[in-house]
């Protein structure tokens, strides 16, 4: 007989077995940040396989007897396509209304999930709440966990499990101290690429320039992208950067612009008429061409998320994006303003 299962909390006594040790460490010097101080990170909020629950969580008793629930690979892959737009909360809080989301939300999931070979599902999250940023920065809370309702099926449980968890209905993703998925659910830096056998964080140059900006008013007074690049180049030399390192950093910028140009051509069939040095404006113009008008007060992250969605799903299949990524207005108003009439 099927029963409802609500996974609202981390394992009751936050049991620290081997699965919760050796969490992946964040490189705090290379975190991707938005202009308004929010952070963008990769996370692994759930995986396929066995999950431990107390019997009282499942409605099967009132003791602390451990029961094993099982999420299949097929169910995990299905859920991966439903991640984007979920609210991010501090610890588990079920979100039932818009006001509830505004009260308890600390950010949102800004990408769909990617099913990994090891069964984990990876997604990108935006954390906007300062207290939450402080929590994960000190490694105190650096794991993710999904909040959901589901059906449990004891009759079709696989070997080693007491019940099958199926028909999962996602409600939120929580930032927690210990998640049921274990240390594999830890937060990690948002984007790393492999090029010429060297591991490089795409935001490394941005972080270096940001630090130098605070120390040098010359860059603050730069008015154009060209002036900024020249100032960055001068300061990097003053910081005794080698010529080869400068070349690599410039190459990363060029590759980023080239990649954006290819995506705009793929989306619109035309090259961008806006200089790619202003990537947000170029993405806005591309979205306008296919019927997605961006609000004037849309943040860079909001525009990037809308651009990625349109690129992946086509203009006829765009989904509403969390209103927290925009400035002002209710969730419904921002959705209507951005995607109305499509």
pLDDT at position 4, please? 41
Give residue-wise pLDDT tens across range 19-37: 433 445 566 777 788 878 8
Same structural domain, 39 and 169: yes
pLDDT at position 130, please? 87
Same structural domain, 184 and 274: no
Domain count, the chain: 2
Q: Is there a domain that residue 57 lies in?
A: yes
Same structural domain, 186 and 257: no
Same structural domain, 140 and 257: no
Of the pLDDT bands very low, low, confident and very high (cuts 50, 70, 90), residue 261 is: confident
Q: Interhelix angle for 279-289 vs 300-313, to 10°?
A: 40
Q: Is there a domain that residue 293 lies in?
A: yes
Q: How far apart are CA 157 and CA 2, in angstroms?
A: 11
Retrieve residue 324's tokens: 């927290």
User: Residues 143-163: what's their mean pLDDT?
Assistant: 89
Same structural domain, 157 and 44: yes
- Residues 12 and 54: beta-carbon distance below 8 Å: yes
Report the candidate in 283, 305, 301 with the shortest Cα–Cα distance to residue 36. Answer: 301
Same structural domain, 177 and 282: no
Same structural domain, 169 and 257: no
pLDDT at position 290, please? 82
Question: pTM above 0.75?
Answer: no
Last residue of a domain, one of 190, 211, 235: 190
- Give the domain extent around 170: 3-8+22-190
Give residue-wise pLDDT tens across range 72-95: 999 999 999 999 899 999 888 888
Q: Is there a domain that residue 210 lies in?
A: no
Residue 289's Cα: distance from chain center in Å? 27
Same structural domain, 44 and 148: yes
pLDDT at position 42, please? 87
Same structural domain, 257 and 186: no
Residue 251's Cα: distance from chain center in Å? 26
Same structural domain, 266 and 183: no
Residues contacting 311, CB < 8 A, separation 6+ = 263, 266, 267
Last residue of a domain, one of 190, 211, 242: 190
User: Does 266 score more than 60 pLDDT?
Assistant: yes
Rg (the chain; Cα; Å): 22
Alpha helices in the chain (DSSP H): 55-58, 73-80, 98-104, 130-137, 204-215, 217-220, 225-238, 243-268, 279-289, 300-313, 331-339
Same structural domain, 58 and 142: yes
Q: Is there a domain that residue 219 lies in?
A: no
Same structural domain, 131 and 267: no
Give residue-wise pLDDT tens across range 189-214: 664 433 333 343 444 444 444 454 44
């Amino acid at each position: 007989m099927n029963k409802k299962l609500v996974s609202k909390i981390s394992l009751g006594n936050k049991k620290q077995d081997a699965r919760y040790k050796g969490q992946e460490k964040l490189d705090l010097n290379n975190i991707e940040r938005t202009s308004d101080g929010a952070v963008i990170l990769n996370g692994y909020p759930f995986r396929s396989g066995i999950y431990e629950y107390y019997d009282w969580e499942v409605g099967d008793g009132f003791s602390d007897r451990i029961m094993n629930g099982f999420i299949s690979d097929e169910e995990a892959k299905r859920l991966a396509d439903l991640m984007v737009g979920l609210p991010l909360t501090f610890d588990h809080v079920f979100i039932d209304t818009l006001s509830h989301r505004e009260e308890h939300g600390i950010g949102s999931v800004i990408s769909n999930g990617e099913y990994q070979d090891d069964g984990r599902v990876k997604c990108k999250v935006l954390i906007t709440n300062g207290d939450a940023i402080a929590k994960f920065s000190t490694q105190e809370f650096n794991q993710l966990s999904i909040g959901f309702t589901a059906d449990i099926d004891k009759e079709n449980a696989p070997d080693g499990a007491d019940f099958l968890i199926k028909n999962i209905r996602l409600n939120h993703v929580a930032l927690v101290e210990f998640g049921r998925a274990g240390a594999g659910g830890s937060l990690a830096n948002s984007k790393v690429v492999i090029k010429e056998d060297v591991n490089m964080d795409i935001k490394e140059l941005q972080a270096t320039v940001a630090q130098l900006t605070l120390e040098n008013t010359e860059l603050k007074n730069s008015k154009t992208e060209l002036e900024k690049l020249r100032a960055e180049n001068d300061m990097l030399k003053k910081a005794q950067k080698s010529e080869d390192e400068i070349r690599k950093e410039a190459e990363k910028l060029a590759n980023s612009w080239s990649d954006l140009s290819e995506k705009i051509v793929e989306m619109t069939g035309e090259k961008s008429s806006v200089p790619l040095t202003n990537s947000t404006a170029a993405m806005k113009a591309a979205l306008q061409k296919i019927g997605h008008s961006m609000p004037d007060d849309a943040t860079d992250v909001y525009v990037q998320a809308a651009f990625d969605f349109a690129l992946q799903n086509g203009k006829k299949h765009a989904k509403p994006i969390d209103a927290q990524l925009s400035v002002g207005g209710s969730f419904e108003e921002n959705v209507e303003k951005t995607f109305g009439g499509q």
